Amino acid sequence: MRTRIVLATVGLAGLLVTGGCSFQESICGGGEYPVIAVGGQGGSACIPDGQEPTAPYVRYPEGKVPQHVDDEWDVYWRSHGIDENGTIIER
């Protein structure tokens, strides 16, 4: 019995090492999409699919929507925002 536990533990450790860290945390949960607050301060939220954002939030520009924590667009929006005219600004 003890041998089986050791083998199972070693096997699980091997899977974790060879599988790498492929888990990516989603920005929003299922049935939601991310929005960004207008202004240089930034801030984001998640809105239910099918619902339009309300002030101070707007949709991210098409093609620049973060999907996962630390993905290209999540990192980008940490130093950028959207002004009241919909123009991308640096913070």
In DSSP notation, 14-74 reads HHHHHH-S----BSS-TTEEEEEEBBTT--EEEEETT----TTEEEPPTT----BTTSHHH
Q: In the prediction, which pLDDT does 40 show?
A: 67
What's the gap between Cα 67 and its chain centre? 4
Sort strands 80-82 and 88-90 into parallel, antiparallel or unpaired.
Answer: antiparallel
Q: In the prediction, which pLDDT does 56 show?
A: 94
Q: Which portions of the chain are predicted below pLDDT 70?
A: 1-21, 40, 42
| Predicted structure pTM score | 0.73
